[in-house]
């Protein structure tokens, strides 16, 4: 799977976070270390068991792709 990450240099540090997995963020001295820390954070979050209470259920919600993921051709009106 791929997740979108925002990364940037801030002073002497590289900082970043995953847009698609809120709570996964990191700060490292190098860009390479930052990306690795974000990868490990995502794996840890996705491996975390979610406890369920009696009467609770898990479901999925289908959400359309955001407009920014479509090419300009896709957004043209049909003739």
* Per-residue pLDDT tens over the stretch 23-41: 999 999 999 999 999 999 9
Residue 40 lies in a domain: yes
Q: Label residues 12-44 b or e (16+ Cβ within 10 Å = b).
A: eebebbbeebeebbbebeeeeebbebbeebbee
Question: What is the chain's length?
Answer: 79
pLDDT of amino acid 44: 95
pLDDT of amino acid 50: 81
pLDDT of amino acid 77: 67
Residue 62 lies in a domain: no
pLDDT of amino acid 73: 66
Which stretches in the chain have pLDDT values below 50?
A: none
Side-chain-side CA neighbours of residue 27 (13 Å): 4
Residue 57 lies in a domain: no
pLDDT of amino acid 70: 74
State phi, psi for 17 to the nearest 5 degrees: -155, 160
What domain range includes position 18?
1-48
Question: Per the structure, how many domains does the chain have?
Answer: 1
């Amino acid at each position: 799977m791929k997740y979108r990450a925002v990364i940037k240099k801030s002073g002497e540090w590289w900082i970043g976070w995953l847009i698609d997995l809120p709570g996964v963020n990191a700060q490292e001295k190098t860009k390479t270390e930052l990306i690795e820390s974000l990868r490990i954070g995502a794996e840890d979050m996705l491996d975390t068991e979610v406890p369920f209470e009696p009467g609770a259920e898990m479901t999925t919600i289908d959400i359309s792709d955001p407009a920014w993921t479509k090419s300009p051709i896709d957004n043209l009106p049909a003739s």
